[in-house]
């Protein structure tokens, strides 16, 4: 689910190649076939995470995608995200992250978090299966993915404060 400079596109070169092949009129690349355990949890560690927004403290229990492999898979193939669940992607070192929704079956809210814990941007209800890049717009220290629409329900917005022990 991460793109250039982050979890998913470390595949940026592959994406550029695929786009070049597509533009050349060659046959498209086949869609990725789900693994036998697709949609099953990766058995990642979970941590409590809070977001302070508009005088309210919203509590979540999120999976942590620390390794490149965990970040590349992210929430792909999941059919459901719990309302108080999600996944956090630490960016080490911090960078301008770009994500996509390849093989992601449900809409997500992508919350781009600065190194000081403030939210830089919320990309709401990202489109399932889309290869369009979703850009942080600036350097971030982590990215939180929540069930699509959850940020709006809780009035989570840029400037709100995220806390978790990463």
Task: Kindly list the strands in the beta sheet with 119-126, ordered across the sheet, starting from the edge strand earlier in the chain.
Answer: 119-126, 108-113, 134-147, 87-99, 56-64, 46-53, 161-164
Per residue of the chain (166 residues), give pLDDT as tens: 665 444 444 333 333 333 343 444 433 333 444 443 445 556 899 999 999 999 999 999 999 999 999 999 999 999 999 999 999 999 999 999 999 999 999 999 999 999 999 999 999 999 999 999 999 999 999 999 999 999 999 999 999 999 999 7
C-alpha distances out from residue 37 to 30, 53, 73, 103, 151, Å = 20, 36, 12, 14, 29
List Cβ neighbours of 89 (8 Å cut-off, separation of 6 or more). Answer: 2, 6, 7, 65, 71, 74, 97, 142, 143, 144, 145
Give me the domains of the chain, ranges plus CATH numbers: 8-29+44-164 (2.60.120.1140)
Give first-to-last CA distance, the chain, whole Å. Answer: 20
pTM value? 0.79
Nearest CA among 113, 117, 143 for reference residue 8:
143
């Amino acid at each position: 689910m991460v793109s250039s400079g982050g979890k998913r596109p470390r595949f940026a070169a592959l994406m550029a190649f695929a786009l070049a092949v597509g533009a050349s009129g060659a046959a498209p690349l086949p869609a990725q076939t789900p693994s036998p355990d697709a949609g099953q949890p990766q058995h990642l560690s979970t941590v409590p995470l809070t977001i302070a927004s508009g005088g309210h403290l919203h509590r979540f229990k999120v999976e942590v995608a620390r390794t490149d492999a965990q970040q590349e898979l992210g929430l792909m193939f999941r059919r459901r995200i719990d309302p108080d669940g999600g996944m956090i992607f630490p960016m080490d070192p911090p960078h301008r992250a770009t994500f996509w929704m390849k093989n992601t079956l449900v809409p997500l809210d992508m919350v781009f978090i600065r190194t000081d814990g403030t939210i830089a941007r919320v990309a709401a209800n990202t489109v399932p299966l889309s290869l369009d890049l979703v850009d942080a717009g600036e350097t971030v220290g982590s990215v939180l993915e929540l069930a699509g629409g959850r940020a709006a329900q809780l009035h989570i917005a840029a400037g709100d404060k995220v806390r978790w022990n990463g």
